[in-house]
Amino acid sequence: MLHNLSLGILLLGLLEFGYCRTLSFLRYFQQEEYSSSRFLAWIKEKRAIDTRGTAILALAGLLSLILPGGWTTLVIAALATLGLSIVVRIAEEDPRRSGKLKLNMTQRASKIVLVSFGLFALLATGPVVLLLKCCGGGERDLAYFALWGICMAQAPGALLVVANKLLWPAEKALQDRFYADAKRILREVDPFVIGITGSYGKTGAKAALGDLLTQCVGPTFWPKKSINTVMGITRTIREALSPVHRFAVIEMGAYNRGSIKRLCDFTPPKAALVTAVGIMHLERFGSPENVYVAKSEIAQALPPDGILVCNGDSPNARRMAVEHASGKTLLYGLDQSAGPLDCYASDIAFSAQGTSFLIHWGGRSFPGRTPLLGRPALSNALGAFTMACALGAEPAYAVACLANLAPVDNRLVLDSKAGSVSFLRDAYNSNPTGFAAALEVLQALPAKRRIVMTPGMVELGDQQQAQNRRLATMCASVADLVIVVGRINREAILAGLADAEYPKAQIVAVETRDEGFAALSERQSPGDLVLIENDLGDLLEGAVRF
């Protein structure tokens, strides 16, 4: 009886452990967009294997072999269960409530948990039944079961992949149905679709264009935040596209060659805005040329009388305007040195109130301002302005509307309090252009001391080291204190700072962003301006410990 009870108690502990771990792994699986290969690669890279549960189970197994049976076994099982519970309930955070990117329990996530944990429970319970039925309850059963538990502790990640595979046919059918429904709505509403793509800046440009068109020309639909995949767009179309909409601004994300073409087949654009063709996500594409080819799919999808608006400051976006010119092709930018621009801004100045400028368009100049900060935001606003004017907006009114644009979350947003520490949050995935622009704003705004906290930039392929080093050197001329977060780019950043002979006493290197903020609060004082550059997703942040 005691024997059965011990196994039962440990089984309960293992089940609770398995359930919580399933959720923990699911958070990362979800961040990898349920891609099995990317998720498994992440597990491999981060060595996301269980150590805590394994240690407890190993100890329990060992003790049950050494110590006499009976009550002792029961105590060992109870302590092991308690230990497992403490690990997952107290030592580890609930992925649904904490962490920068929380686990979002969507219907799909719930189904995956159900199947995945079902498999876990089946696999965990099976041996217990087997031990009781067949072996008749031997002295060493708890040790055997603990050994099996160690295997099971490693299983949740793999089981998620299996569950996802099992559920895929039903999920695919559901997605197809939603896709067809969204297609039908698009056909019925028939808005003028403007596609936006770019290595960076597309979300900001989308929000600015959606707003300008709504204010200046007519009601416009645009998926909020950075929704840029077929399923994300499908969902927003079904929820929010209505017959009142004259325009639809669709952000098109490229993950590989063909992904923009797929989006263009789904929502065929009549106009396209290309904000930049850079070196972001180089690891996914292989080469800068592949990035260019992938982004060009948007220009190729335009009809003969289409409108193509490209950022002339980005050499490859400029190249696209030449190689894939459309019915009407326009270039915008902040720098005329690379060639003529149809729309450009000059007299750019930054202040705590935002950015002021002079826009040149159609042979006229319009003074204006926007609460948005930095050259990238101004460039996006300019791209939106050019497109809106091409679609019938009155330029002087469009300039007036730029003054009322709302900043996009965490993209160089100033959070200032008089008599306190001010923050410039540029927390979104960073790139060399954005980083340099953030430093320019940091330099331009009044502050007692300027502090930069960053883990550097990622996904820059073989240029990652060099670019981080270059930007670190730029930091040296602006910042009074640099806090380097994590180990991903630590070496490169320190080397860049050393290149500029930056005093070591003004550098702090920490492991995690929490430690970074702790270091910051120790050193900050009123009047300081802190640039938070690139607040990486949990996925990329340091080591994962289980």
Partner 1 sequence: MAKRRKIAVLFGGRSVEHEISVITALQLMLAVDPALYDITPVYIAPNGCWYTGDALLNRTFYASVPGSLSALTEVTLLPKPGINGLTVQATGLVLPVDVFVPVFHGQYGEDGCIQGLFELAQVPYTGSSVAASAITMNKYFCKVYLGAHGVPVLPAALINRDDARADIEATVESICSRSEFSSFPLFIKPCNLGSSIGVSRVGAKHELAAALAKVFRYDTHALVEPCVSEIMEINVSVRDVGRAQASVVEIPVSQSGVLSYEEKYLRPGGKKSGPSQGMASLSRIIDPPDLDPDIRNEVVSHAVRSFSLLGCSGVARLDFIYDLAAGKLYFNELNAFPGSCAFYLWARTAPRVLYTELINDMIETALRTHQSFASLDRDIGLRALKGA
Q: Which positions from 363 to 402 touch partner 1 by CB under 8 A, shown as an x/- string?
A: ----xxx------------------------x-xx-xxx-
Distance CA 443, CA 440 (A): 5
Q: Can you read off the two tokens belonging to residue 12? A: 């309960």
The rounded distance, in Å, linking the Cα atoms of 200 and 352 is 24
**Distance of closest approach, residue 406 Cβ to partner 1, in angstroms:** 10
Q: Of 75 and 400, which has the nearer Cβ to partner 1?
A: 400
Q: Which is nearer to partner 1, 232 or 371 (CB)?
A: 371
Tokens in use for 21?
């771990």
Rounded to a whole number of angstroms, the minimum distance from the CB of residue 456 to partner 1 is 37
322 binds partner 1 (CB under 8 A): no
Rounded to the nearest whole angstrom, what is the least distance from the CB of residue 210 to partner 1 in the complex?
A: 13
CB 105, min distance to partner 1, A: 12
Name the residue nearer to partner 1 (CB basis): 396 or 500. Answer: 396
# chain residues binding partner 1, by CB under 8 A: 13
What backbone torsions phi and psi does residue 507 show, to the nearest 5 degrees?
Answer: -115, 135
Residue number, 362 or 537, with CB nearest to partner 1: 362
Per DSSP (E only), the strands in 266-394 are 271-274, 307-311, 328-333, 343-351, 354-361, 364-370
Closer to partner 1 by Cβ: residue 84 or 405? 405
Q: Which residues of 503-533 are buried (b: 16+ CB within 10 A; e: fewer)?
A: eeebbbbbeebebbbebbeebbeeebbbbbb
User: Measured from the CB of residue 388, what is the shortest distance to partner 1 in angstroms?
Assistant: 12
Draw the binding track, 5-24, toward partner 1 (x: CB under 8 A; -: no contact): --------------------
- Of the pair 67, 403, the CB lying nearest partner 1 is at 403
Helix (H, G, I), strand (E, B) or coil at 431: coil
Cβ proximity to partner 1: between 256 and 404 the closer is 404
Q: According to CB under 8 A, which residues from 98 to 137 bind partner 1? A: none
Contact 285, 256 (CB under 8 A): yes
Gap between the Cα atoms of 25 and 30, Å rounded: 9
Minimum distance between the CB of residue 407 and partner 1, rounded to whole angstroms?
A: 15
Minimum distance, C-beta of residue 214 to partner 1, in the bound complex (Å): 8
Q: Of 317 and 402, which CB lies nearer to partner 1 in the complex structure? A: 402
Distance CA 225, CA 216 (A): 21
Residue with tokens 């398995």: 18
Distance in angstroms (rounded) separating the CA atoms of residues 392 and 469: 45
Nearer to partner 1 by Cβ, of 288 and 371: the residue is 371
The binding track of 198-217 with respect to partner 1, each residue x by CB under 8 A or -, is -----------------xx-
Residue 199: Cβ within 10 Å count:
25
**Ordered alpha helix ranges (H), 367-512:** 375-390, 395-402, 432-444, 464-478, 490-499
Closer to partner 1 by CB, 91 or 403: give it.
403
Question: According to the binding rule CB under 8 A, does residue 403 interact with partner 1?
Answer: yes
Kindly state the smallest distance separating residue 396's Cβ from partner 1, in Å: 5
Rounded Cα gap, residues 410 and 2, in angstroms: 57
Rounded Cα–Cα distance for residues 30 and 39 (Å): 9
Task: List the beta bridge partners of residue 329.
Answer: 308
Amino acid, res. 436: A
Nearer to partner 1, 246 or 369 (CB): 369
Q: Which is nearer to partner 1, 215 or 275 (CB)?
A: 215
Minimum CB separation of residue 220 from partner 1 in Å reads 13
Considering only 104, 404, 410, 420, the residue that binds partner 1 (CB under 8 A) is: 404
Which pair of tokens denotes residue 438? 């953030």
The distance of closest approach from Cβ of residue 246 to partner 1 in the complex, given in angstroms and rounded to an integer, is: 14
* Beta carbons of 204 and 376 less than 8 angstroms apart: yes
Q: Which residue lies nearer to partner 1 by CB, 345 or 427?
A: 345
Interface mask toward partner 1 for 330-369; x: CB under 8 A = -------------------------------------xxx
Distance CA 196, CA 61 (A): 58
Residue 167 structure tokens: 């559920």
* Residue 508, beta-bridge partner list: 483
The contact mask relative to partner 1 for 152-181 (x = CB under 8 A, - = no) is ------------------------------
| Phi, psi at 401, each rounded to 5° | -70, -30
Asked if 244 is part of the footprint of partner 1 (rule: CB under 8 A), the reply reads no
Let me know: does 222 contact 202? Beta carbons within 8 Å: no
- Shortest Å distance, C-beta 400 to partner 1: 4
The least distance separating partner 1 from the CB of residue 393, rounded to whole angstroms, comes to 8
Contacting residues for 469 by C-beta, under 8 A, at least 6 apart: 492, 493, 495, 496, 499
First and final C-alpha spacing in the chain: 34
What is the nearest approach in angstroms of partner 1 to the Cβ of residue 368?
Answer: 8
Phi-psi region of 345 (alpha: psi -120 to 50; beta: other; left: phi over 0): beta
Task: Specify the amino acid at residue 292.
Answer: Y
Summarize as ranges the residues that interact with partner 1 (CB under 8 A).
215-216, 367-369, 394, 396-397, 399-401, 403-404
